[in-house]
């Protein structure tokens, strides 16, 4: 009887040790208060941007990986949205992001739009990103950009 109780205790202990506990995500919040609920999927984000024309705006909330951040003061970031990148700036320059968050996941909320970025502005962003003089000089055409003016950002820790 004692052997059975001991065996049952060991099996119970082993099962309890193997049970995975879901790790609760924690966030750093920037700008206005937003939640991590009701996010658009990557496919919905891509489809929404495909349907926008220059001058159109729509509110969106989604998660994405940060590809790049302004190294001057964190005043913009480029997000990987699957079918390209979205340029994110912050409403009224009311907040900035840490400069060391490349490859981290964020949730952004704000107004999405498509814009045309002048050569001068593209060169400015390239300079902020620490690009070489040769890379900056190679920018010679106006570029259509998927953009978002974020009013809130959650950085997943």
Q: Is residue 14 part of a domain?
A: no
Using pLDDT thresholds of 50, 70 and 90, give the confidence band for residue 82.
Answer: confident
Number of Cβ atoms within 10 Å of the Cβ of 62: 21
Which residue range(s) make up the domain with 136? Answer: 26-156
Q: Which pTM does this prediction carry?
A: 0.75
The structure tokens listed for 2 are: 């004692």
The count of domains in the chain is: 1
CATH of the domain at 151: 2.40.50.200
Per-residue pLDDT at 6 exceeds 50: no
Q: Is residue 136 part of a domain?
A: yes
For 149, the enclosing helix (H) or strand (E) is strand 143-156
């Amino acid at each position: 009887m004692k052997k059975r109780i001991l065996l049952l205790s060991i099996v119970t202990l082993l099962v309890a040790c193997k049970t995975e506990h879901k790790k609760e995500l924690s966030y750093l919040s920037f700008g206005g208060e937003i939640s991590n609920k009701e996010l658009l999927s990557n496919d919905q984000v891509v489809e929404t941007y495909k349907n926008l024309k220059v001058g159109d705006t729509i509110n969106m909330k989604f998660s994405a990986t940060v590809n790049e951040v302004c190294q001057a003061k964190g005043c913009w970031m480029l997000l990987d949205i699957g079918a390209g990148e979205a340029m994110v700036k912050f409403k009224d320059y009311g907040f900035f992001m840490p400069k060391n968050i490349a490859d981290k996941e964020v949730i952004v909320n704000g107004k999405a739009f498509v814009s045309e970025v002048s050569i001068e502005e593209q060169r400015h962003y390239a300079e902020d990103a620490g690009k070489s003089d040769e890379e900056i000089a190679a920018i010679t055409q106006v570029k259509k950009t998927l953009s978002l003016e974020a009013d809130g950002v959650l950085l997943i820790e």
